[in-house]
Amino acid sequence: MNPTTVTIVELDDPTGLCRHLLDEIRQQPVYVALDLHSGRLTADYDAAVDGARPPVVAEGFERRYTIPVLTADAVNALMAEIASPTARILADWEQRWDGNNLVAVLGDDARAAEEEIKTLVDGEWAPNQKVAVWDVDAATNGDEIEEYGITATTTDARLDEIEEQIRVSMATTGEGDVVAYLRRLRDDLKAEAEDTNGANGE
């Protein structure tokens, strides 16, 4: 028997929906998803880079609703707001064979509830509800060596920690770009130290 109670899985990371995958120019699409089998309501970014839909989505068992790149607080509030119509969807669908696969078929009230959800997610969003997207130049200021105490011996693990601090504070896209920038700073310091030691005959 399928659940009729919605379970909201809240997002903890303030900028967890902001993802820019390696070699991709655009920010990954973001959505709220309702799993008809489990009743879980979640928010995530689409990890696919080719626009392909997983079978569970294509067959209708996971209902996805596209949203902007919202902060954790905003998306958690949204999921709480759409909990009532999603419960109506859970209570009004069935599984049918379409000749090739089992698919989810919504009833009249579930379809009406889904339209309500689409209206809510397509609404206006205040600037402070959305994650501001910055490139690496905007996310860094050239003073990271002094600000974070980066030295020639700073470990990659520490640079990852610094990158996370920058990402959370400024919600940068492509966090890999930021950490690459930090590693260049560290490596430049290391090269300078090696040049100095070589000049001194050490």
- Compute CA distances 32 → 19, 67, 80, 196, whole Å: 15, 7, 11, 55
| φ and ψ at residue 75, rounded to 5 degrees | -70, -35
CA-CA distance, 40 to 66, in Å (whole number)? 17
- The tokens describing 135, both together, are 């490139």
Taking the CA atoms of the chain, what radius of gyration do you get in angstroms?
23
- Compute CA distances 15 → 7, 65, 177, 181, 191, whole Å: 22, 19, 16, 20, 34
- The tokens describing 150, both together, are 């980066």
- The tokens describing 137, both together, are 């130049």
Written as tens digits, the pLDDT of the chain (202 aa) is 677 799 999 999 887 787 766 555 567 889 999 999 999 999 998 888 777 889 999 999 999 999 998 989 999 999 999 999 999 999 999 999 999 999 999 999 999 999 999 999 998 888 888 876 555 555 566 778 888 888 889 898 888 888 777 766 655 444 445 666 677 778 888 888 887 776 666 5
Q: Is 8 helix (H, G, I), strand (E, B) or coil?
A: strand
